């Protein structure tokens, strides 16, 4: 059984490498520096007196496919729909002269993906906003967190503009999806390789 499993994994790895779009991770325009630790990625950008960091984790970032119903109509030679990784991401804005940083928790609403061409439609939304002390390693639940569900639209728009002025806009979000998808695929291939070594290990 293990031998067949290992053979299957070998073929699977070969296939996945064939469809791998990026041999190295795509860059994000706008002078962001990328750090990757396993499944977590951090993008850092410094502008006048501020440091902006965007953190995301690729685990559980591929939305469940809505293609379930259309399986029957799919012709055998058609490519499987491409998987896209749309992780939640956290934007932190740290001003040099304050002891607090503004934290915005953003996500990609599932129904928004793939509706390009809509007028001025944002592909990501801000879910929560809070202030967190800069020194603290762990964020506190005791700090007031503003949930945007019940937020005044004008205030929400200003928050979105505030992010856009710092380089976090639709273009950034598109590139983040591409980066995350490439990272997820890379980790998946690595996982298959590790699994193959594990299965073969006597």
| 87: nearest Cα among 116, 120, 127, 115 | 127
pLDDT score, position 76: 45
pLDDT score, position 137: 62
Element (H, E) at 153: helix 153-165
CB 53 within 8 A of CB 44: yes
pLDDT score, position 58: 96
Spell out the domains of the chain, with CATH numbers in brackets: 1-59+84-110+120-200 (3.10.280.10)
Note the pTM of the prediction, 2 decimals.
0.84
pLDDT score, position 100: 83
Across the chain, which has 202 residues, the per-10-residue mean pLDDT values are 92 93 89 95 94 96 64 48 89 88 92 50 93 72 86 94 96 96 95 94 72
Establish how many alpha carbons lie within 13 A of residue 74's alpha carbon, considering only the half-sphere containing its beta carbon. Answer: 11
CB 94 within 8 A of CB 53: yes
Q: Pairing state of beta strands 145-147 and 89-95?
A: unpaired
Helix (H, G, I), strand (E, B) or coil at 102: strand
Q: Which two tokens stand for residue 110?
A: 């599932």
Q: Calculate the dihedral angle through the C-alpha atoms of 175, 66, 78, 10, rounding to the nearest 10 degrees.
A: 70
pLDDT score, position 81: 62
pLDDT score, position 176: 97
């Amino acid at each position: 059984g293990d031998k067949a499993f290992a053979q299957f994994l070998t073929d699977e790895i070969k296939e996945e490498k064939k469809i791998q779009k990026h041999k190295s991770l795509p860059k994000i325009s706008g002078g962001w520096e990328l750090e990757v630790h396993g499944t977590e990625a951090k993008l850092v950008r410094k502008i006048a007196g501020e440091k902006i960091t965007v953190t995301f984790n690729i685990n559980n970032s591929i939305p469940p496919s809505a293609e379930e119903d259309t399986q029957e109509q799919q012709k055998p030679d058609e490519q499987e729909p491409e998987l896209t990784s749309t992780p939640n991401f956290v934007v932190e804005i740290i001003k040099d002269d304050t002891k607090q940083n503004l934290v915005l928790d953003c996500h990609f609403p599932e129904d928004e993906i793939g509706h390009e061409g809509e007028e001025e439609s944002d592909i990501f939304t801000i879910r929560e906003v809070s202030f967190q002390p800069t020194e603290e390693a762990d964020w506190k639940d005791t700090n007031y967190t503003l949930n945007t569900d019940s937020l005044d639209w004008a205030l929400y728009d200003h928050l979105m503009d505030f992010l856009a002025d710092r380089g976090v806009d639709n273009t950034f979000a598109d590139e983040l999806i591409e980066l995350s998808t490439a990272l997820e695929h890379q980790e998946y291939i690595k996982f298959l390789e590790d699994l193959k070594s594990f299965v073969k290990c006597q």
